[in-house]
């Protein structure tokens, strides 16, 4: 158990809908990262937050947004869903943003299926 929790575990929805994925980082970790794992794109970095502020953006679509709340939990919002958004979405956390070999701890993921 990494100490990172994600809900829900599974999500099935229809095209055009909007969903919210939730992540609680490990106790004491200030940085949260979101990654998408799909068969065709592999594991891709989406976005990072540190202590409530956005720090880095990767290949995140404009239909997707995220935020980190004062209690440090984070939510990833996916809207106008398309079939191609079906994937496993991981949240990871780390203590800071040094990037200097800092370990990221991954949650179990949310599996999204868009029908």
Partner 1 sequence: GNSVTQMEGPVTLSEEAFLTINCTYTATGYPSLFWYVQYPGEGLQLLLKATKADDKGSNKGFEATYRKETTSFHLEKGSVQVSDSAVYFCALSGESQGGKLIFGQGTELSVKP
Positions touching partner 1 (CB under 8 A) are: 2, 4, 31, 33, 35, 42-45, 48, 50, 55-56, 58, 90, 92, 94, 96-109
Least Cβ distance, residue 87 to partner 1 (angstroms): 14
Q: How far is residue 44's CA from residue 26's CA, in Å, rounded to a whole number?
A: 21
Least Cβ distance, residue 56 to partner 1 (angstroms): 5
Q: Which is nearer to partner 1, 37 or 79 (CB)?
A: 37
Least Cβ distance, residue 42 to partner 1 (angstroms): 5
Q: Are strands 10-13 and 110-114 parallel, antiparallel or unpaired?
A: parallel
CA dihedral of 52, 55, 58, 60, whole degrees rounded to 10: 30
Q: How far is residue 113's CA from residue 111's CA, in Å, rounded to a whole number?
A: 7
């Amino acid at each position: 158990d990494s100490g990172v929790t994600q809900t829900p575990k599974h999500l099935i929805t229809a095209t055009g809908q909007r969903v919210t994925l939730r992540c609680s980082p490990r106790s004491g970790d200030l940085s949260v990262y979101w990654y998408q794992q799909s068969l065709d794109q592999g594991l891709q970095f989406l976005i990072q937050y540190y202590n409530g502020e956005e720090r880095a953006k990767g290949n995140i679509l404009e239909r997707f947004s995220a935020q980190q709340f004062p209690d440090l939990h984070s939510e990833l919002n996916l809207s106008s869903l398309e079939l191609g958004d079906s994937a496993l979405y991981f949240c990871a956390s780390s203590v800071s943003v040094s990037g200097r070999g800092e370990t990221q701890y991954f949650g179990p993921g949310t599996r999204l299926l868009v029908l």
